[in-house]
Structure 1
Amino acid sequence: MKALLLVDIQNGFCPGGNLAVENGDAVVPVANALIESGRYGLIIASQDWHPEGHGSFASRHEGKQPFDIGELAGKPQVMWPDHCVQGTVDAAFHPDLKIDSIHHIQRKGENPEIDSYSAFRDNDRSAVTGLDQLLKEKAVTELDIMGLATDFCVKFTALDAIEMLPDVTVRLIEDGCRGISEDSSREAIKDIKAAGVEITDSHAALES
């Protein structure tokens, strides 16, 4: 089975959101075209779903400003603006995303003491979300990944997919991604490719 994983296409990461990615909403038409193509037997959307006062929020750390580097769970941590708080408009999927066609929503980042960029597991690599098991149970053999943001949640999701699903062909839909920083996004693509993920685009995905 072929699956599509949409990473964090939420209001919080789109223009007007609390942690907006430049042109983040440009990925929505790409996602919708892939959703409507009928080429995917399983469509999954990950959703950042933080409790109030999450440990990754700069507001929880005295003297820290958004995008400062701090520490969380014994690891270096970017201090983020408060974003994607559970139940808020910021955490909702972009209103134009065709969510009615999504088969499974994978929430992440619910533990206030550890961040979770990847849709597969927390940043300490111990607690898993169960997404890998779902894909195995559904006998997924091909997984296409796209979304926000290239240099953080997309990157770690793709790297975990290639490691945790050794029998699955993993592809990154590059034109369906946008990043926080152009430089770090470029490096992220290099890291993803070096790990064995195929880099492709939506036009090729729609023709395959």
Structure 2
Amino acid sequence: MKNRALILVDLQNDFMPGGSLAVADGDSTVAVANGLMANYDLVVATQDWHPSNHGSFAANHPGLNPGEVIELGGLTQVLWPVHCVQGTPGASFHSGLDVGGIHAVVRKGEDPGVDSYSGFFDNGGERSTGLSALLRERGITAVDVMGLATDYCVRFTALDAKREGFQVRLLRSGCRGVELSPGDIDAALAEMSAAGVVLVD
């Protein structure tokens, strides 16, 4: 599709069944991605790429457990299991993903002092990943977003895409969520819709 890019969010092993931060049914998104890529002139994949000392890892806070909430860099931070550590198999894309159909990879979460759910900026909105510039250089005005997880990285990527001035569609069939608390996925979908993200099945 001219002027429309596909953004694949974090289709990495650690977010798949069997991974350290597995999203239920997460691997079902891979076939959706593979089936869609050929329809776009530009396909961008985001990749969580954490150093082992990342502040979002519960293991780096003795006595605290995944799911607990702390303050990190002045921001509220959910603590997670160690995941997507740079250069590890868990950080690699799912083996079934057609990486040959991906034109660019944008890495995020490299600063140990702040998490980065969005494919565009860190959670403080301070550091850009360069994704906006990449899209604009290619003449992109609209993006379709899918991947993992609906209530975290997909949500923040879609919201930032909207803030950056792109038309945004969320491809619901290509998304799965974490649902740390009941209702999280529905709340994320409602927030995206209220922000002007078009939800499509």
1:85-100 equivalences in 2 (<5 Å)? 85-100=85-100
SS in 1 for 2:39: coil
- Which consecutive residues of structure 2, in runs of 5 or more, have no partner in the other structure? none
Aligned to 1:170: 168
1:4 matches 2:6: yes
Aligned to 2:177: 179
Query: Match of 1:114, as an amino acid?
Result: V
CA distance in structure 1 between the aligned counterparts of 2:156 and 2:142, rounded to whole angstroms: 18
Identity %: 52
1:108-147 equivalences in 2 (<5 Å)? 108-147=108-147
Shift of 1:177: 0.3
The TM-score, its normalising length taken from structure 2, stands at 0.96
CA distance in structure 2 between the aligned counterparts of 1:93 and 1:178, rounded to whole angstroms: 16
SS in 2 for 1:24: coil
Aligned to 2:20: 18
Shift of 1:133: 0.9
Aligned to 1:206: none
SS in 1 for 2:27: helix
1:64-103 equivalences in 2 (<5 Å)? 64-103=64-103
Shift of 1:39: 1.9
Superposed CA deviations along residues 149-197 of structure 1, whole A, max 9, x for unmatched, are 0000000000000001x2x321000110000016201100000000001
Q: After the TM superposition, which parts of structure 1 deviate over 2 Å for at least 4 consecutive aligned residues?
A: none
CA distance in structure 2 between the aligned counterparts of 1:45 and 1:77, rounded to whole angstroms: 24
Query: Match of 2:168, as an amino acid?
Result: V
* CA RMSD of superposed structures (Å): 0.8
- Which consecutive residues of structure 1, in runs of 5 or more, have no partner in the other structure? 202-208
The TM-score, its normalising length taken from structure 1, stands at 0.93
Superposed CA deviations along residues 26-57 of structure 1, whole A, max 9, x for unmatched, are 1011111101xx32010000000001120100
Aligned to 2:190: 190
Superposed CA deviations along residues 69-116 of structure 1, whole A, max 9, x for unmatched, are 111111110000000000111000000000011000000000011000
Shift of 1:142: 1.9
